[in-house]
Structure 1
Amino acid sequence: MDKPVIILGAKGIAHPALEIFNSNQVIVYGFLEEDESLHGTEINTVPILGHTEDDGFLKLIGKKTEAFVAVDDTKYRKFLVELLNERRKVQPINAIHHTAYIATDASLGHGNFINAQVSVGAGTEIGHHCILNTGATVDHKVKIGDFVQIGAGSIINAEVTIEEGAFIGSGVTIVSGVTIGKNARVGAGSVVISSVKANETVFGNPAAKIK
């Protein structure tokens, strides 16, 4: 990558995103963050320059820099992606740790965060703006929609479908062939043996709906 990167967001996954770019010898120009109390501070010597909606910095994106959205909150993540699309006509780049394994015929959209030791199997499709935390295993022919989050150490078995906006907690196991519906939530450590409907929250072993 020839251009340096501006990271939008300076909390949550922002620090590990910086580490990912560092691990790939990509220069990070700086961070933009809505929390003004952080402006003028640094993360590992990289400055937090100003607000995420500051046109003075945003105008650099596309011409002189790339952008990555490092925000855990899905609603705000979507807002920042739309802001980049509309104001700068750009898509955020992927942040993929150099120790992650991505199968040669897996497909990835834009703006995904894929941390250390993640494994993505053959024929798997990952949409846009997803977060795959450390050590997550995604087996072959899995389909993952946009804005999905998968927690550290989770195991997603073959031919699972995870629809847009779903949240999978840390240490979850999802058995083969299950569908996790749009905006569903799976609590940490759960074992999911049957499909989860849209907007449902499930937890436990086996995972059951929480009312």
Structure 2
Amino acid sequence: MYIFGASGHGKVIIDLLGTEDRVHGIFDDNTHLTQLMEFPVLGPVPDHFIFDHPLMIAIGDNRARQKVYLRYRERADFASMVHDSAIFSKRATMGAGTVVMERCLVKVDSQLGRQVIVNTAASIDHDCRISDFAHIAPGAILCGGVRVGEGTLIGAGSTVLPGIQIGSWVRVGAGSVVTRNVPDGSTWIGNGLKASI
């Protein structure tokens, strides 16, 4: 596959690759990044470059990942990944470009959208709906029937109680407990709503 993103999340994606997978090239708009581990970084994607292998957008920031997806969605097929140590229900689904990392749990009838990150040891219980460009950070727990809107970050080690609806482009702080619905563009820290963006 090709990888777009030559920083920390790019390293994580490379590390997730199996022995049969091959990195065909790494791109990044930052021309100062020339090497990612043992791989050269090729710089920005040339205007007329043809993606002859799937592309993985390896960017942790949700808005930046969306921006790159919109730039290349007409030119590329997007790779998806589920690590061998994850438990991903045969009755769950995920969209193009989504990655499910080590020791994650995705239960029955959950649906993950496009370009979602389910980070290390996160748990998504039954019947959850995770919209495009969301990021479920390491160790986060979503109880059954949770809805997460587009571009939302569920912070590391946080817990979302059953049936809660979280809007689009929300930030849930690390270690929070979400006990009620959260409107679009809000920030939830600890046990309560703190601000709107």
Write 1 or 2 for the structure with the bigger share of helix. Answer: 1
Q: Residue 18 of structure 1: SS of its match in structure 2?
A: helix
> Per-residue displacement from partner, 1:151-197 (whole Å, max 9, x unpaired)?
10011000111111111110001111101111111100001111111
Matched, 1:175 2:161: yes
Gaps of 5+ in 1: none
Gaps of 5+ in 2: none
- Partner Cα distance (2:71, 2:169) in 1: 22
Give the equivalent residue in structure 2 for 1:74.
Answer: 62
Q: 1:25: how far off?
A: 2.5
- Partner Cα distance (1:203, 1:81) in 2: 29
Matched, 1:30 2:54: no
TM-score (norm 2): 0.93
Please show how residues 1-211 of structure 1 align to structure 2 within 5 Å. 5-21=1-17, 23=18, 25-39=20-34, 41-43=35-37, 45-51=38-44, 53-55=45-47, 58-59=49-50, 61=51, 63=52, 65-86=53-74, 88=75, 90-204=76-190, 207-211=191-195
- Partner Cα distance (1:55, 1:114) in 2: 30
4+ long deviations beyond 6 Å = none
- Partner Cα distance (1:12, 1:149) in 2: 15
RMSD: 1.4
Aligned residues: 195
Q: Residue 68 of structure 1: SS of its match in structure 2?
A: strand
TM-score (norm 1): 0.88
Distance 1:24 1:106, change over 3 A: farther
- Partner Cα distance (1:183, 1:50) in 2: 29
> Per-residue displacement from partner, 1:46-100 (whole Å, max 9, x unpaired)?
221221x3236x32x1x3x2111011222221221122223x1x33111221211
Asked if the contact 1:131/1:148 (under 8 Å) is kept, the reply is yes
Point out the more displaced range, 77-86 or 164-173: 77-86
- Indicate the percent of aligned positions where both proteins have the same amino acid: 29
Q: Residue 73 of structure 2: SS of its match in structure 1?
A: helix
